[in-house]
Structure 1
Amino acid sequence: MKMLKLSFVWLLILSLAVLAACTNSDSSTKDDETETSKPATSEGTETEESDEKVSIEFWHAMSGTGQESLDSIVKGFNDSQDKYEVVAEFQGTYEESLTKLRGVGGTKDAPAITQVFEVGTKYMIDSGYIEPMQKFIDKDNYDLSQLEENILNYYKVDGELYSMPFNSSTPVMVYNKDAFKEAGLDPEKAPETFSEVIDAAAKLKKGEMYGFSMLTYGWFFEQLVATQGGLYVDEDNGRSGDATEALFNGPEGLNVFSFLDTMNKAGTFGNFGTNWDDIRAAFASGKVAMYMDSSAGVAGAITNARFDVGVAYIPHAEEVKRNGVVIGGASLWMSKGIAEKDQEAAWEFMKYLTTPEVQAQWHLDTGYFAINPKAYDEENVKEKWAEFPQYKVTVDQLQDTVPGLATQGALISVFPESRQQIVTALEDLYQGKDPQEVLDKAAEGTNRAMEIANKTKK
Structure 2
Amino acid sequence: MISWSRKGLVTLCMAIVMLFMAACGGTPTQPSAAKGTDNKEMAPKPAASKEPVKVVWWHSMSGELGKAIDKLVADFNASQKDVVVEAVFQGTYDESLNKMKTSMDSKSGPALIQVFEIGSRFMIDSKAITPMQKFIDADKYDLSQLEENILNYYRIDGKLNSMPFNTSNPILYYNKDMFKAAGLDPEKPPATYEEVAAASKALTKDGKYGNSFAIYGWFMEQFFANQGAELLNNSNGRKGLATESMLNSDAGVKTLAWWKQMVDDKSSLNLGRKTDDTKKAFIAGQVAMTLDSTGSLRGIVDGAQGKFAVGTGNLPKPSDAKDGGVIVGGASVYILNNRSEAEQNGAWQFIKFLAEPKQQAYWHVNTGYFPITKKAYDEQVVKDNLVKYPQLKTAVDQLHATKANTATQGAVMGVFPEARQLTEGAIEEVLNGKKQPKEALDGAAKEITGKLGTYNKTVK
Regarding TM over 0.5, the answer is: yes
Distance in 2 (alpha carbons) for counterparts of 1:427 and 1:106: 39
Deviations 1:132-171 (A, max 9, x none): 0000000000001100111111111111000010011100
Q: 1:441 to 1:49 in 2, by over 3 A?
A: farther
- Aligned letter for 1:341? A
For residues 87-166 of structure 1, the aligned pairs below 5 Å read 87-105=86-104, 107-166=106-165
Aligned residue for 2:371, secondary structure, equals coil
* 1:439 alignment partner in structure 2: 441
Distance in 2 (alpha carbons) for counterparts of 1:221 and 1:351: 33
Deviations 1:83-132 (A, max 9, x none): 11000000111111111111222654431100001110000000011000
Say whether the 8 Å CA contact 1:163–1:333 is kept in structure 2: yes
Detail structure 1 runs of 4+ shifted over 6 Å in the superposition: none
Aligned residue for 2:289, secondary structure, equals strand
Say whether the 8 Å CA contact 2:118–2:412 is kept in structure 1: yes
Distance in 2 (alpha carbons) for counterparts of 1:208 and 1:155: 44
- Aligned letter for 1:130? I
Say whether the 8 Å CA contact 2:237–2:413 is kept in structure 1: yes
1:421 maps onto 2:422 in alignment: yes
* Structure 1 stretch displaced more, 424-433 or 97-106: 97-106
* 2:42 alignment partner in structure 1: none
Deviations 1:314-368 (A, max 9, x none): 0011112451100111100001021111111100000000000000000000000
Distance in 2 (alpha carbons) for counterparts of 1:294 and 1:443: 25
* 1:330 alignment partner in structure 2: 331
Say whether the 8 Å CA contact 1:106–1:130 is kept in structure 2: no
Unmatched segments (≥5 aa) in structure 1 = 1-46
* Structure 1 stretch displaced more, 130-139 or 261-270: 261-270
CA RMSD in angstroms comes to 1.4
* 2:296 alignment partner in structure 1: 297
* 2:392 alignment partner in structure 1: 391
Deviations 1:279-335 (A, max 9, x none): 111001111101110010111110111210001100011112451100111100001
* 1:366 alignment partner in structure 2: 367
* 1:453 alignment partner in structure 2: 455
Distance in 2 (alpha carbons) for counterparts of 1:359 and 1:185: 37
TM-score by length of 2: 0.88
Distance in 1 (alpha carbons) for counterparts of 2:432 and 2:344: 52
Aligned residue for 1:78, secondary structure, equals helix
Q: 1:277 to 1:49 in 2, by over 3 A?
A: farther
* 1:377 alignment partner in structure 2: 378
1:309 maps onto 2:322 in alignment: no
Aligned residue for 1:211, secondary structure, equals strand
Q: 1:192 to 1:85 in 2, by over 3 A?
A: same
Distance in 2 (alpha carbons) for counterparts of 1:163 and 1:142: 14
Distance in 2 (alpha carbons) for counterparts of 1:439 and 1:245: 13
For residues 401-412 of structure 1, the aligned pairs below 5 Å read 401-412=402-413
- Aligned letter for 2:326? V
- Aligned letter for 2:287? V
Distance in 2 (alpha carbons) for counterparts of 1:172 and 1:385: 16
Distance in 2 (alpha carbons) for counterparts of 1:88 and 1:163: 18
* Structure 1 stretch displaced more, 426-435 or 133-142: 426-435
Aligned residue for 1:444, secondary structure, equals helix
For residues 20-419 of structure 1, the aligned pairs below 5 Å read 50-105=49-104, 107-305=106-304, 306-419=307-420
User: 1:239 Cα shift?
Assistant: 0.5
Distance in 2 (alpha carbons) for counterparts of 1:189 and 1:49: 68
- Aligned letter for 2:92? T
- Aligned letter for 1:443? A
Distance in 2 (alpha carbons) for counterparts of 1:276 and 1:434: 24
- Aligned letter for 2:406? L
Aligned residue for 1:56, secondary structure, equals strand
Deviations 1:13-68 (A, max 9, x none): xxxxxxxxxxxxxxxxxxxxxxxxxxxxxxxxxx9954211111000010011100
Say whether the 8 Å CA contact 2:216–2:274 is kept in structure 1: no
TM-score by length of 1: 0.88
Say whether the 8 Å CA contact 2:226–2:408 is kept in structure 1: yes
Say whether the 8 Å CA contact 1:107–1:338 is kept in structure 2: no
Say whether the 8 Å CA contact 2:247–2:444 is kept in structure 1: no
Q: 1:106 to 1:124 in 2, by over 3 A?
A: farther
- Aligned letter for 1:345? G
Distance in 1 (alpha carbons) for counterparts of 2:365 and 2:163: 20
Distance in 2 (alpha carbons) for counterparts of 1:383 and 1:108: 45
User: 1:233 Cα shift?
Assistant: 0.5
Aligned residue for 1:191, secondary structure, equals coil
Say whether the 8 Å CA contact 2:193–2:319 is kept in structure 1: yes
Aligned residue for 1:292, secondary structure, equals strand
Q: How many positions carry a matched residue from both structures?
A: 412
* 1:21 alignment partner in structure 2: none
- Aligned letter for 1:314? L
* 1:44 alignment partner in structure 2: none
- Aligned letter for 1:355? E
Aligned residue for 2:254, secondary structure, equals helix
Q: 1:262 to 1:93 in 2, by over 3 A?
A: same
* Structure 1 stretch displaced more, 374-383 or 358-367: 374-383
Aligned residue for 1:86, secondary structure, equals strand
